[in-house]
């Protein structure tokens, strides 16, 4: 789906029609980057990942709106319901992309091109956003086709035309050829996908390891990874939230207050979408620009705020020595599982207490849903007026990697 977050926001803000718009953080606060921008803003130089102040420099008239992940997930689910009318082999790649295997749908639904045109038409007129679709015999070339021409386009790469159309493209267009990998390829004289495909596989392996073999196969279209059936995997790999703090953090209490706010938002999102996490990860950046990430695997999957923040705070205590004040914190819940999977009871745990904490969290969720984020807060938040005004209601949802696990 093209400029997905921005496209959905434009639907809900008709007053911004014809104006440059970006979805990002709070431009009045100290933090925030562009998550996505509409094509009007992109033509003026606004790019995903830019700091809001940078976007404002290249496009002074830009309008910023805060992200609303609930809304985007709802549109993602509606799109997936349309896809499911053509195949049950649907593999999400983030919330705005998916692979569909329609090879068994031909007798009923027509060719790949026919199905692509129908889906394009339906997404546009039923959801109000546009899609770019790639058609091919493998996932890598289909993904490449979806990026080949935007917006609102359909591109087919088949066994007859792929060398003429794909091999002339820059190697950086291929999935998983990032900036650093592309630099290394250029040092080897490899600038196009065709040159990568015709390179010596052993040479690539010697420079890149196993990924060299993978990229060589991808360039040649030798990708046999199947499209997973619908429901096989969650559409997200992890759920996290991070913030540049309203002021620098100077002690453990400051960190505890911010981590509570972040853990509450992450746990609420897990519960809302029916997940529990088996891993908790923290990120820390101080004002000396030192940063690190650490993670811990939990004994049992959880979506309880208290369990997530306890794990996060222990990670912090074990790994930070307070050489500088802290400027940014993040918490991420990873290794997600469905919240209704059977779990072995912990012989040394207190199941009754766990159930009370779950009930408490869901009560808080309902109160905030009805009366707003600040209608109920933990007592710890009142120990610092500045930090307690952080609204950790925005979330980051991380898509599944192509390499599962």
CATH number at residue 172: 3.30.70.270
Q: What percent of the chain has a predicted confidence (pLDDT) above 90?
A: 60
In a domain, 403, yes or no: no
Tell me, what's the pLDDT at 235?
Answer: 56
| Interval 116-174: pLDDT, tens | 999 999 999 999 999 999 999 999 999 999 999 999 999 999 999 999 999 999 999 99
Interhelix angle 201-208/210-219, rounded to 10 degrees, is 140
Q: Which residues of 316-338 are buried (b: 16+ CB within 10 A; e: fewer)?
A: beeebeeeeebbbbbbbbbbbee
Rounded-to-integer distance, Cα 395 and Cα 307, Å: 19
What residues contact residue 373 under an 8 Å CB cut-off, 6+ apart? Answer: 391, 393
Q: How confident is the model at residue 318 (pLDDT cuts 50, 70, 90)?
A: very high
The verdict on 198 and 331 lying in the same domain is: no
φ and ψ at 191, to 5 degrees?
A: -120, -20
**H/E element, 294:** strand 291-302
Please state whether the predicted TM-score (pTM) of the whole model is above 0.75: no
Q: How far apart are CA 236 and CA 242, in angstroms?
A: 17
- Give the structural domain span for 312: 239-389
Pair (222, 244) in one structural domain: no
**Tens of pLDDT along 45-82?**
999 888 888 999 999 999 999 888 889 988 998 999 99
| Res. 341 pLDDT band, cuts 50 70 90 | low
Q: Judge if 185 and 119 occupy the same domain.
A: yes
Q: Are residues 74 and 218 in the same domain?
A: yes
Q: Same domain, yes or no, for 54 and 203?
A: no
Helix axis angle, 351-371 to 252-272, nearest 10°: 80
Q: Which of 163, 176, 166 is nearest to 208 (CA)?
A: 176
Same domain, yes or no: 80 and 226: yes
Q: Which of the listed residues 233, 258, 276 is the one where a domain comes to its end?
A: 233
Question: Each residue of 223-277: pLDDT tens digit?
Answer: 888 887 655 445 567 889 888 888 899 999 999 999 999 999 999 988 887 789 9
**Hey, what's the torsion of the CAs at 88, 2, 215, 185, to 10 degrees?**
180
Q: How many residues does the chain have?
A: 405
Residue 328: which residues within 8 A CB-CB, separation 6 or more? 31, 242, 243, 244, 245, 283, 284, 285, 291
Would you call 280 helix, strand, or coil by DSSP? strand
Residue 146 lies in a domain: yes
Q: Is residue 189 part of a domain?
A: yes
CATH of the domain at 274: 3.30.1490.100
Scanning 20-83, the segments in alpha helix (DSSP H) are: 39-43, 52-58, 69-83
**207 and 97 within one domain:** yes
In a domain, 327, yes or no: yes
Buried/exposed code over 138-152 (b: 16+ C-beta within 10 A; e: otherwise): bbbbbbbbbebeeee
CA 395-398-403 angle, to 5 degrees, is 175
Same structural domain, 100 and 202? yes
CB 212 within 8 A of CB 206: yes
Binding residues for Mg(2+): 96
Q: Are 237 and 273 in contact (CB under 8 A)?
A: no
Note whether residue 127 is domain-resident: yes
> Which is the catalytic residue, given 97, 156, 264, 307?
97
327 in the same domain as 305:
yes
Q: How far is CA 53 from CA 32, 37, 61, 157, in A?
A: 9, 14, 12, 40
- The residue out of 51, 67, 83 marking a domain boundary is 67
Distance CA 221, CA 212 (A): 14
- 114 pLDDT exceeds 70? yes
Domain count, the chain: 3
How far apart are the C-alpha atoms of 396 and 332, rounded to whole Å?
9
Domain membership of residue 396 (yes or no) is: no
Domain assignment present for 405: no
CATH number, residue 35: 3.40.1170.60
Question: 363-385, pLDDT tens digit by residue?
Answer: 998 898 888 778 888 888 888 87
For residues 274 and 323, membership in a common domain is answered with: yes
Which pLDDT score is estimated for 395?
A: 46
Q: Does the residue 395 lie in any domain?
A: no
313 in Cβ contact with 255 (< 8 Å): yes
How high is the mean pLDDT of the chain? 88
Q: Are residues 152 and 247 in the same domain?
A: no
The per-residue pLDDT for 405 is: 40
In the residue annotation, 97 being an active-site residue is answered as yes
Three-class SS state of 101: coil
Is the same domain home to 367 and 356? Answer: yes
């Amino acid at each position: 789906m093209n400029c997905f977050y921005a496209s959905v926001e434009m639907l809900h803000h008709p007053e911004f029609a014809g104006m440059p718009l970006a979805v990002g953080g709070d431009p009045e606060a100290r933090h925030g980057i562009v998550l996505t921008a509409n094509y009007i803003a992109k033509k003026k130089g606004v790019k995903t990942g830019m700091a809001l102040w940078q976007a404002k420099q290249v496009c002074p008239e830009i309008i910023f709106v805060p992200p609303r992940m609930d809304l985007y997930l709802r549109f993602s689910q509606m799109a997936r319901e349309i896809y499911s009318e053509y195949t049950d082999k649907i593999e999400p790649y983030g919330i705005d992309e998916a692979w569909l295997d329609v090879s068994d749908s031909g007798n009923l639904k027509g060719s790949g091109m026919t199905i692509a045109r129908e889906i394009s038409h339906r997404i546009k007129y039923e959801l109000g956003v546009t899609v770019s679709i790639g058609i091919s015999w493998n996932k890598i070339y289909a993904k490449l086709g979806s990026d080949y021409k935007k917006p609102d386009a359909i591109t087919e790469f088949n066994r007859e035309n792929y060398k003429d159309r794909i091999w002339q493209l820059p190697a950086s267009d291929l999935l998983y050829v990032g900036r650093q990998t592309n630099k290394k390829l250029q040092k080897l004289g490899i600038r196009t996908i065709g040159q990568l495909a015709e390179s010596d596989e052993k040479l690539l392996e010697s420079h890149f390891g196993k990924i060299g073999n993978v990229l060589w196969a991808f360039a040649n279209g030798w990708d046999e990874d199947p499209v997973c059936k619908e429901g096989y995997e969650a559409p997200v790999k992890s759920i996290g939230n991070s913030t540049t703090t309203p002021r620098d953090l100077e002690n453990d209490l400051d960190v505890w207050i911010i981590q509570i706010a972040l853990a509450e938002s992450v746990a609420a999102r897990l519960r809302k979408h029916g997940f529990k996490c088996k891993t908790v990860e923290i990120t820390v950046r101080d004002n000396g620009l030192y940063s690190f990430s650490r993670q811990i695997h939990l004994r049992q999957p959880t979506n309880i705020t208290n369990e997530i923040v306890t794990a996060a705070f222990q990670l912090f205590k074990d790994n930070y020595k307070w050489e500088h004040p802290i400027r940014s914190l993040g918490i991420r819940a990873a290794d997600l599982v469905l919240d209704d999977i059977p779990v072995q009871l912990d012989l040394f745990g207190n199941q009754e207490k766990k159930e009370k904490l779950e009930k408490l969290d869901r009560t808080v969720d309902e109160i905030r849903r009805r009366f707003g984020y600040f209608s109920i807060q933990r007592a710890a938040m009142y120990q610092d007026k500045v930090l307690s005004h952080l609204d950790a209601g925005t979330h980051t949802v991380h898509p599944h990697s192509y390499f599962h696990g």
